Amino acid sequence: MEFLSKSLEETAKIARNLSSKLKPRKKATVIGLYGELGSGKTTFMKYLAESFRIEEIIQSPTFVIEKVYELRDTSNEIRKNSGPSNIVPRTSYFDHLIHIDAYRIEKEEEMLNLGWQEIMADPKNLICVEWPERIAGIMPEHVRISFEHIDKSSRKIKIEL
């Protein structure tokens, strides 16, 4: 699927649409976010996190490498309140959204030392990796999202499920 997003609202809609399609696999579900600096990877990540009702500020974890967000079951809450239509109710699919920025990773062993194998083994983890090409040798089969900077407010977003 290929999209041309001309606004933050359109990018948010694309992220919400993707979040509703994500289902667990035998191991963690992994998304690779590809694109040059400023192409929209972290912005997309912010909207993806919002779609799972994460209220924390999402920033690229460039210096800490990894940030783990707990996901809570919102299905009953949304049913009771007819919740916002732009939020995806989370049932029992994922327990954690893990945001990794591999930009500063020099060797794949660094990711292995940070517990990559362990977080990859858990099917309740949804892992989003910015700069996945830096750890290409240990990236499993994953959803590929490529971002291309068109102009100040427009991005081409290509999603390969």
58-111 pLDDT per residue, tens:
888 777 899 999 987 655 444 444 455 555 554 458 999 999 999 999 999 999
Q: What is the residue-averaged pLDDT of the chain?
A: 88
Q: Is 105 exposed, middle or buried (0-12, 13-18, 19+ CB in 10 A)?
A: middle
CATH number at residue 98: 3.40.50.300
**Residue 37, SS3 per DSSP:** coil
Residue 82: the pLDDT is 47
Full residue range of the structural domain in which residue 101 is found: 2-35+43-160
Burial 19-46 (b: 16+ CB within 10 A, else e): beebebeebbbbbbbbbeeebbbbbbbb
Gyration radius of the chain over CA positions: 15
Residue 6: the pLDDT is 97
Distance CA 20, CA 101 (A): 23
Residue 116's nearest CA partner among 127, 131, 104, 103 is 127
- The model carries a pTM of 0.86
User: What residues does 96 pair with on adjacent strands?
Assistant: 70, 125
Query: What's the total number of domains in the chain?
Result: 1
Mean pLDDT along residues 15-23: 93
Start-to-end C-alpha separation, the chain: 8
Q: How confident is the model at residue 132 (pLDDT cuts 50, 70, 90)?
A: very high
**Residue 59, SS3 per DSSP:** coil
